[in-house]
Chains A and B, each alone.
Chain A
């Protein structure tokens, strides 16, 4: 069993709407995968299918199990934070720790307490007395202390201050992630996650339009900043996207050798955000 998640012909329809349209993909163990797509592209639906929250068509195996029929066993090894999930208002920090410790075989109370010690949260505090940032801190303390094989994060930092967001991703990388774990993240703030991702998946209209490792993407795509004199030559190489910055043209190339572009101007690796915009062209028109 090499793939943590393997989908073949995964399809989800809501009435006449097809949210996810026959997609195939494989996520190997030990990766941090960014699942990126515009609103309504099917990314949350894909994750919900993988977490056994909704019925679907096609084949989907998560840690070798079918999330439709083996969800109860699966959830011992999988954890998730959904963007809309919140902790109940009546929950006390101490009770939350007691509860998860009581029911989860892979929960480390010491880890959760160590994380909470770095926050202002007190053991007697109830969720209803916390700010949104604090609630997320508690939620993360609980989830991060679970030694899950697969962690799914659907907009985990939505609505949080930049301080909390930075802290969160740093914590995720330094204290949580190791080669035995796999993380799938969806987010709108691509620039915040791109440096931690090992793999990238773009999803559009229920289909996967790009699935690649970050290394491959670095080799395949090049961004070129070119002066007006060489625009013609650059255009001849067929850029997939063009924009103008301070009178210079910035072009994005797919599969053109970097040595060939170097002679025309400055080259660099494109950001995931630029790549995303180029790939999703027409979506927002």
Chain B
């Protein structure tokens, strides 16, 4: 347990830029841009504003109480949506992290230093999986929560300046406080759907002698190209699209948060709160756990675990010369 703590800390030291600075800088950028835009909105004599796609007509003498309630609860339930770019960044970060996780140490030969210490290959690979699908998302969730609250506060302040006081409604909404925990609640779904991609990328990472990215992306793409070619040339009825969707893509896009909604064709209507017509974390959470009833999720996860087991074995026996 103590060893695992240090192994995770090692991953953080090595990838501080990706684990910490990238989300913080991205969040700061989003916050600054939105604040500038909001400030402009507040000083302009504009009569309406668009919030999360919802057209709001602002009158100095206020808006109807029920509309105010609707906007307030909509914002409280869906304010995390502003952090969406951060979660795309998380996908990229996990992808690159996994692909380099066992490749970099072989490239710079530091693997022989790590192997001179009492660190088993299993623990090392486990620590890297943990860093990729738990530690990285946790950091991004934390940063996203702070960013979303800041942006929510800025927007509410702008509206307040415009004569609409949403603060009492916002603070009374349970969804405001619940949303970050609902985001945390998505972590197991994320990890499960990420497993096939994490497994594939780490397997390439531990195996490739060079050009890990080419192998990781090239092999699935080439396989698709060959399958397409063979199917067309020999007039076969192979379902290549199924292979693309269920095998090739699962090995590459699983690390992007929310991919499970696309994979299981969850419609946008299921994510939206019918009362407020805005994205709502409660609905997102429910729909996300709903995708776990699909065998595809579990078969993919099993394939991921198998590839990770092979990764441990390869790291154990690969002769690094």
Contacts and interface: CB of A to CB of B under 8 A. Distances in A.
Interface of A: 48, 51, 53-55, 71-72, 75-76, 79-82, 84-92, 95, 98-100, 102-105, 139, 143
Interface string B153-191: 000000000000000000000000000000000000000
Interface in B95-134: 104-105, 108-113, 115-120
Contact of A54 (B109, B118, B319): B319
Interface of B (DSSP majority class): helix
B9 A79 contact: no
Given A53-B319, A55-B317, A102-B6, A90 B14 contact: yes
Given A86-B108, A87-B110, A90-B14, A79 B116 contact: yes
Contacts of A79: 116-117
A100 B111 CA distance: 15
Interface residues of B, number: 28
B51 to A, nearest CB: 43
B13 to A, nearest CB: 6
Given A102-B3, A102-B6, A88 B118 contact: no
Contact of B116 (A91, A102, A143): A143
A56 to B, nearest CB: 11
A99 B7 CA distance: 8
B10 A99 contact: yes
B120 A72 contact: yes
A114 B108 CA distance: 28
Interface of B: 2-3, 5-7, 9-10, 13-14, 104-105, 108-113, 115-120, 316-317, 319-321
A87 B112 CA distance: 9
A76 to B, nearest CB: 5
A281 to B, nearest CB: 29
Contacts of B14: 88, 90
A208 B112 CA distance: 26
Contact of A103 (B6, B109, B115): B6
A84 B109 contact: yes
Closest 10 CB pairs of A and B: A85-B112, A102-B6, A88-B110, A75-B118, A72-B120, A82-B112, A76-B118, A80-B116, A103-B3, A85-B113
B128 to A, nearest CB: 14
Contacts of A48: 319
A106 to B, nearest CB: 9
Nearest to A151: B116
Contacts of B108: 86, 88-89
A92 B116 CA distance: 18
A19 B131 CA distance: 39
A54 to B, nearest CB: 5
A84 B321 contact: yes
A105 to B, nearest CB: 8
Contacts of B104: 88
A103 B317 contact: no
Given A82-B112, A84-B321, A86-B113, A99 B6 contact: yes
A62 to B, nearest CB: 14
A100 B2 CA distance: 12
Contacts of A75: 115-119
Contacts of A72: 118, 120
A201 B191 CA distance: 53
A183 to B, nearest CB: 14
B115 A53 contact: yes
B13 A87 contact: no
Contacts of B9: 99, 102
Contacts of B120: 71-72
Nearest to A81: B116
Given A86-B110, A87-B110, A88-B105, A103 B2 contact: yes
Given A86-B108, A88-B14, A95-B13, 13 more contacts: A71-B120, A75-B117, A75-B118, A76-B118, A80-B116, A85-B111, A86-B113, A88-B113, A90-B13, A90-B14, A91-B13, A99-B6, A103-B3
Contacts of A86: 108-110, 113
Given A54-B319, A55-B317, A92-B13, A85 B6 contact: no
A91 B6 CA distance: 13
Contacts of A99: 6, 9-10
A31 B6 CA distance: 34
B319 A103 contact: no
A54 B317 CA distance: 6
Residue among B5, B117, B120, B319 with max Cβ neighbours from chain A (10 Å):
B117
Contacts of B113: 85-88, 139
A60 to B, nearest CB: 16
A81 B117 CA distance: 10
B118 A104 contact: yes
A214 B39 CA distance: 84
A95 B110 CA distance: 15
